[in-house]
Amino acid sequence: MLADSFEFGMGTKSGMTVTAKTALEVTTVVACVRVIAEDIANMPRSIVEITEDKLGREILKPQHKHAVHKLLTRKPNDWMSPGEFVEHMVLNACLTGSGYAFVSRDNSGRPMELLPLITGQVTVDQSENYEVVYRITDIEGGVLGEYGPQDVLHLRGLMIDRLVGADTVKLLREAIGLSMGLEETQAMLFKNGGHPGALLFKKDGIGSTEASDRIKQGLRKLSSGGGRFGLGVLDGDWGFQQLSMSAVDQQHLEGRKFQVEEICRGFRVFPQMIGHTDKAPTFASAEAFFSAHRTFTLLPWMRRFKELIDRVLLDNDALRLHLDEGVFLRGSMKDQAMYDRTQAEIGTRTRNELRARDGKNPLPGLDEPLTPMNMGNKENEEQAEDSETVS
């Protein structure tokens, strides 16, 4: 949700006024921010504790009873679902460079609620001794209070300024404004019938205006279009001339296609991920684009969100926010079945772990990893030989 404070616009060379709110009316912009915000929100989230085993390897232990785990997976506040909360923060950060939420804590300092804020409500300042202060106002502009970094979740985009993320809409205002102008111009052409499909005219003499009007009215009744690509009538000896799309019209369409790619570059989103492609994708190319989308588009936002939660909400250095990328790594059912089988057979995953990933309850006897006969280590072989000797 965007507030009226987002109505402050920026002029562009195309003559269009661009705001964060009007930018969302451009399909490319809304598609780019949606694909980022929704994909981050779709990732399963959990709080884990990092411990070490006897060999010094990291072990992740889920902390499902932790207060932050409940906020991020069940109920961040009284009116939003966890997915909606994450979408709101990421979408605002994608558009304006900053997504905010106020952290409501109990008397012991434990987070109890995450209250989303609109970018226009928050002003960030830094004192001479580098203390950061967040000044929060209400809808009417009245100051609600000043808070420190531990009281506000501040998700930043690309940072140019040391305090807030770069305003993406401001940086892309010329590209967005040109896209808005091209769309408005083409819409006006369609509305006003600026390009008739053919001309009917008289070659000699002056035709009757009443006759011309009657002909046009009759032709409009026969044409479902009624405007563009309809039939124009001129005075003179009647003749017929078919018109085709001009080079200007073709360049107009090419310009609109180019603006899609231009805006995608600014949001670092592959055009294929928002449904824009000039070629029919194959399964191989589609899979490659999904992998590139995860690596080049989502990973930076995942890092920002994880580091923010770890810094502000988790008071223990051993606790971390874990985002499960597995939802983006699954292939076709056949490929997934082969992958799971291989994982189970070589012992990298237990069969109950695979069942848990698919939402199934564990079964007795499936918690031990399998070890192929030809892949046992020397210690296991010696133990097996000793047991045979004893028996």
Q: How many CB atoms lie within 10 A of CB 301?
A: 20
Give the model's confidence band at 64: pLDDT under 50 very low, under 70 low, under 90 confident, else very high: very high
Q: What is the DSSP string of 202-270?
A: -SSS---HHHHHHHHHHHHHH-SSSBTBSEEEESSS-EEEE----HHHHHHHHHHHHHHHHHHHHHT--
Which of the two residues, 328 and 108, has the higher pLDDT score? 108
**Number of structural domains found in the chain:** 3
Residue 332: strand, helix, or coil: coil
Residue 386: strand, helix, or coil: helix
Residues 171 and 281 in one domain: yes
Residues 237 and 188 in one domain: no
Residue 151: strand, helix, or coil: helix
Residues 105 and 231 in one domain: no
The tens digit of pLDDT for each residue in 2-16 reads: 444 455 567 788 888
Rg of the chain on CA atoms, in Å: 31
Q: How many Å apart are CA 210 and CA 55, to the nearest integer? A: 96
With left for phi above 0 and alpha for psi between -120 and 50, is residue 336 left, alpha or beta? alpha
Where in the sequence is the domain holding 209, given as residue range(s)?
Answer: 196-244
Q: How many Å apart are CA 33 and CA 266, to the nearest integer? A: 11
Residues 274 and 387 in one domain: no
Domain boundary among 227, 244, 261: 244
The angle subtended at Cα 266 by Cα 260 and Cα 270, nearest 5°, is 60
Residues 59 and 142 in one domain: yes
Confidence at residue 176, expressed as pLDDT on a 0 to 100 scale: 93
Confidence at residue 1, expressed as pLDDT on a 0 to 100 scale: 39
Inter-helix orientation angle 173-192/247-267, to 10°: 150
Residues 6 and 72 in one domain: yes
The tens digit of pLDDT for each residue in 234-284 reads: 555 566 555 555 545 556 677 788 899 999 999 999 998 998 877 666 655
Amino acid identity of residue 118, one-letter, is I
Does residue 196 contact residue 231 with C-beta atoms inside 8 Å?
A: yes
pTM of the shown model: 0.76
Confidence at residue 120, expressed as pLDDT on a 0 to 100 scale: 87
Does residue 335 contact residue 283 with C-beta atoms inside 8 Å?
A: no
Average pLDDT of the residues in 76-86? 96
Residues 40 and 178 in one domain: yes
